[in-house]
Amino acid sequence: MTIAVRTTPRREALNTTYHPAPLSPEAEAPVCFVRRAGEADALAALDDSYAGLTQAVEQRLTLYSRGLQVRIRRWLTKLDSVSTSNTTWKKNRNNYARLLLEQLRKGRLDKPFDAAPPAGPLPTLPKYLTYGFTPETGRQQARGRSGTPGRERSPATTRENEEGGSRRLSPKKADS
């Protein structure tokens, strides 16, 4: 059994210069090498947003007990641990940081921050946790806090907030 091998003449032997054929408009470059012009700007914007979120979280750390501070710092190091240019991962990282900041503003840590961060890559946050982070449209902004058109907060609620009637307990334990 013999195998026929076809050889092509070498370019040096032909003494010609190689000119590749121009790509047709239908031909696409491989996806792995395509980088959009605005992608670098989007990545920089995501990183800037994340830096602002982590700075706000760091400012709030002193309000909490030592145990909570350690857990929050572990979450921040977990979010900082992977440096990638994947926009999906960076959006997920920003959603985690935004959720952490919102929970710190409310004064309590709920899921997923009620425990140490998981080993391995972070799972994508469920939609119900990121729902409040979507930018409001004009129609949503026209509605009151209650969600019904034309209905605003009651005067009693407004007076309580102005007088400081709504009180929140600090999560830091008081030293006696």
**pLDDT-derived band at 135, boundaries 50, 70, 90:** low
Q: Model confidence over 145-163: pLDDT tens digits? A: 555 454 444 444 444 444 4
**Rg of the chain over all Cα atoms, to the nearest angstrom:** 28
Q: Average pLDDT, stretch 51-78?
A: 88
Overall number of domains in the chain: 1
Is 21 a domain residue? no
Does the predicted TM-score (pTM) go above 0.75? no
Is 95 a domain residue? yes
**Bigger pLDDT: 46 or 37?**
46
How many residues make up the chain in this entry? 176
Instruction: Decide if pLDDT at 28 tops 80.
Output: no
Q: Average pLDDT, stretch 135-143?
A: 48
Q: Average pLDDT, stretch 23-29?
A: 49
Lowest mean pLDDT among 35-44, 98-107, 158-167: 158-167
Q: Average pLDDT, stretch 58-70?
A: 87
pLDDT > 90: percent of the chain: 3
Instruction: Decide if pLDDT at 45 tops 50.
Output: yes
Is 153 a domain residue? no
CA distance 56 to 16: 64
Range of the domain at 85: 46-134
Is 70 a domain residue? yes
Q: Are 122 and 80 in contact (CB under 8 A)?
A: no
* Closest residue by Cα to residue 54 from 98, 85, 87: 98
CA distance 87 to 151: 39
